[in-house]
Amino acid sequence: MNSQERVWTPYRGPFDPCPPVPFKTYVVPPNQFITFQPPNLPQFSLPEALKHGTLWPSLYSPYESKFKGVR
C-alpha cells in the first residue's frame, strides 16, 4: 500500500438498505506534511519534472486508478 493512502471503515447503520462497504480509501497529498519549503530541496531534471508534474520529488504523488483495465 502507498504510504499516502489511508483506509477507513464507513458506518453501517442497522436499517441501512445498501449493501455493506467493508472499507474506503483516500489519498493524502504530500504537501499536507511539508509546512514550509526547506532550502536546497532536491529537484527533478526538467524532462522528469514535466513527466511527474512537479519539480520536487518530495511533492510527487503518483496516481493509481482504482479502475485498472476497466472501461
DSSP string for residues in 46-65:
HHHHHHHT-S-GGG------
- pTM for this predicted structure: 0.61
Given a contact cutoff of 8 angstroms between Cβ atoms, the answer to whether 62 and 53 are in contact is no
Whether residue 2 has pLDDT greater than 60: no
pLDDT at 8: 93
Share above pLDDT 90 across residues of the chain, in percent, rounded to a whole number: 37
pLDDT at 48: 95
pLDDT digits (tens, 9 = 90+) for 36-64: 888 899 999 999 999 999 999 988 888 77
pLDDT at 23: 93
pLDDT at 69: 65
